[in-house]
Amino acid sequence: MAKEKESKTVAHSRTVMSRVMLPSEANSAGNVHGGEIMKFMDTAAYVTAVKHCRTNVVTARVDELEFYLPILVGQLVTCRTQLVFVGRSSMEVAVKVEVEDLKSDEPPKTALKAYFTMVALDENCKPCEVPGLELQTPEEKALFKEREKIYLANKRKRKSE
């Protein structure tokens, strides 16, 4: 019988990653391609999920991806991530992207947000159990319940298709 994995806190795997946007990541007008930002978000979500489960993970779903602001060459982009829901083998990671003009004193602004569902895989590339999520604050508990409802609704939808 497999030993149950010990739960970990949300803070344990919280991740912050930043990088400056380069001309090779943009169109001729200087707007960074959305796909470049999505790739960066996926990498940040991957780091968070692997820190939690310490095994390989893959992206299974992206929800609520919405761009609020354009991102330009030369701006600093920061991804802030945290786990918001954990199932048996899947983990949902909230990803918030902030953009900052390094030549300005203005504070960073939220450019986009999304939820990435990551699935843990064993050495045979089969879904495997992940540690539980230890919820410590009322906000973490509320977000977990909210995202659990969405996760279960998506699961029911997949089964009916």
pTM of the model: 0.92
At 18, which helix (H) or strand (E)? strand 15-20
**pLDDT tens digits, 112-145:** 999 999 999 999 999 999 999 999 999 999 999 9
Q: Please report the pLDDT score of residue 155 as a whole number.
A: 83
Asked if the structure places residue 117 within a domain, the reply is yes
**pLDDT tens digits, 68-119:** 999 999 999 999 999 999 999 999 999 999 999 999 999 999 999 999 999 9
Asked if the structure places residue 3 within a domain, the reply is no
Asked if the structure places residue 1 within a domain, the reply is no
Q: CB count, 10 Å around CB of 12?
A: 15
**Buried/exposed 78-114: b ≥16 CB within 10 Å, e otherwise:** bbbbbbbbbbebbbbbbbbbbbbeeeeeeebeebbbb
By residue range, what is the domain housing residue 93?
8-160
In the chain, the number of structural domains is: 1
**pLDDT tens digits, 47-74:** 999 999 999 999 999 998 999 999 999 9
| CB 40, CB 81: distance < 8 Å | no
Asked if the structure places residue 73 within a domain, the reply is yes
Q: Taking 90 as the threshold, does the pLDDT of residue 37 lie above it?
A: yes
Query: Which CATH number does the domain housing residue 107 bear?
Result: 3.10.129.10
- Residue 157 pLDDT class (50, 70, 90 cuts): confident
Asked if the structure places residue 112 within a domain, the reply is yes
